[in-house]
Amino acid sequence: MSKDRTTVEDRLAAEGGTPVRTAPLPGTSDISGRRIDEQEIAAVTAVLRSGRLNSTVGTETRAFEADFGALYGVDHVVASSSGTSALHLAVAAVDPSPGDEIILTGLSDAGSMLPILAQNAVPVFADLDPATGLLDVGSVAEKITDRTKAVLVVHLFGAAAPVEELRSLCDDKGILLIEDCAQAYLTTTPSGRLAGTVGHLGCFSLQQSKHITAGDGGLTITNDPDLGRRARLFMDKAWPRDTDERTHLFLGLNYRMTELQAAVARVQLTKLQGVVDDRRRNANRFAETVNSLPGLSTVPTEGTSWWLFPIFLDPATAGGTAEDYARLMRAEGIGAGPGYIGQPLYLNPVLTQARTYGDSGFPIADRASEYAPGLCPVTEDLISGGKMMVLQWNENYTEADVDDHIAVLTKVHRHLVGRG
């Protein structure tokens, strides 16, 4: 009997070999992957001792807004209760009429889509650049109609979407641009501008897994005073507290951030640059390996803040699909998953079955059939066609953790390409 061409040490773990890694990696779901210490505890304790836990009587939320505004160089910052609420503030500030359209990506969390429906507007989906998973400007241009009110662009995984081109397109068409920066703290565009400051409005999340966290929380930023005021009013039941009137100027909600959230967020903000620097340093080293392997690539490293680490595949050259790579990498001790989300946003029942307001289906009842397979072919190819894989990434990874990522990916790539 001939000897197996692989050594025991080189054999894939999924086929009986020894995994490269057995220890868990730092993750954002617990303290191993978070930078939370006595500073946050002291800040929360101070709020509790003050007895002022609501932002209408406390000072932490307004101070956090001021700190964030100074960091981003913007005049208007509105804190809210979640990243989804931050997007809702932005959509409400745009003030669409019922049936107006807002263009977005199908590759995102539902928080990018649901505020559009909540404001009685119609989500319209544009396709993506297959090399980055980010909105394709040409596809957006094709989707613009006389009902288009805004474009909502997502800086996915911490990589900068083509917002400068989109801003130019929106200005030409007389529509507004909203940036979803939930995954893109301190991400910069090719011109060096901070993501969130190119469009008319930028939105951020403080959810558990983001670069910095207060458990939940959101921020909506703008340099437009009218958009900023409308966003602030919408956050607080359209109650103009600055004029000392108990009145409600339009339909708004209560999306106020608590002083406890703001206290944590203010401390976390002081750590943001270090978090992003550490994510970048390690991710950029791993990216060199990814881009050196035939059939694999990732997003441009310049300016990316690496919330997650995407890998794009040409299965014919890479020797396998994203599903193949993810399955084998997990067996080696590195978490990976194909496609990021299970299906494009437009294939969720809220759209395909028009499950909105009672049985009315408003405002999409007559358009639900448009939300169907084939609407955005590139999006669907990335999610379910085996051409995109996503790895977790974290500021607390050590050089040894990155070494393990490199060892696992090169091992899996070698085996799959060798079988091709």
pLDDT digits (tens, 9 = 90+) for 343-398: 999 999 999 999 999 999 999 999 999 999 999 999 999 999 899 999 999 999 99
Q: What mean pLDDT is predicted for residues 105-111?
A: 98
Q: What is the pLDDT of residue 43?
A: 98
Closest to 214 measured CA to CA, from 119, 46, 83: 83
**Tokens 């662009």 label which residue?**
153
**Tokens 């406890």 label which residue?**
260
C-alpha torsion sign, points 298, 299, 303, 306 = negative
In the β-sheet with 101-105, what is the strand arrangement from edge to edge?
Answer: 76-80, 218-222, 201-205, 176-180, 148-154, 101-105, 122-126
Task: Give 187-218 pLDDT, tens digit per residue.
Answer: 999 999 999 999 999 999 999 999 999 999 99
pLDDT-based confidence at residue 10 (cuts at 50, 70, 90): confident
Structural domains in the chain plus CATH codes = 38-268 (3.40.640.10)
Cβ pair 272, 187 in contact under 8 A: no
Number of Cβ within 10 Å of residue 301's Cβ equals 16
Q: What is the mean pLDDT of the chain?
A: 96
pLDDT-based confidence at residue 5 (cuts at 50, 70, 90): very low
Q: What are phi and psi of 372, to 5 degrees?
A: -150, 160
Closest to 155 measured CA to CA, from 199, 117, 121: 199
Cβ pair 181, 90 in contact under 8 A: no
CA 269/CA 271 separation, integer angstroms = 5
Q: Is 183 helix (H, G, I), strand (E, B) or coil?
A: coil
Judge whether residue 401 has pLDDT over 50: yes
Cβ pair 408, 292 in contact under 8 A: no
Q: Is 333 helix (H, G, I), strand (E, B) or coil?
A: coil
Q: Is 218 helix (H, G, I), strand (E, B) or coil?
A: strand
Q: What mean pLDDT is predicted for residues 5-12?
A: 64
Q: What is the pLDDT of residue 420?
A: 63
Cβ pair 190, 54 in contact under 8 A: no
Task: Give 291-343 pLDDT, tens digit per residue.
Answer: 999 999 999 999 999 999 999 999 999 999 999 999 999 999 999 999 999 99
Torsion angle of the four alpha carbons 190, 192, 197, 198, in this order, in degrees rounded to the nearest 10: -40
CA 127/CA 308 separation, integer angstroms = 21
Q: What is the pLDDT of residue 9?
A: 65
Task: Give 52-104 pLDDT, tens digit per residue.
Answer: 999 999 999 999 999 999 999 999 999 999 999 999 999 999 999 999 999 99
Q: What is the pLDDT of residue 4?
A: 42
CA angle in degrees (0–180, nearest 5) for 345-144-203: 55
Closest to 378 measured CA to CA, from 104, 127, 108, 132: 127
pLDDT-based confidence at residue 8 (cuts at 50, 70, 90): very low
Q: Which long-range contacts (CB under 8 A, 24 or more apart) does 314-321 make?
A: 314/387, 315/386, 315/387, 317/417, 318/293, 318/294, 318/413, 318/416, 318/417, 319/295, 319/413, 319/415, 319/416, 319/417, 319/418, 319/419, 319/420, 320/416, 321/385, 321/386, 321/387
More confident: 370 or 7: 370
Judge whether residue 1 has pLDDT over 90: no
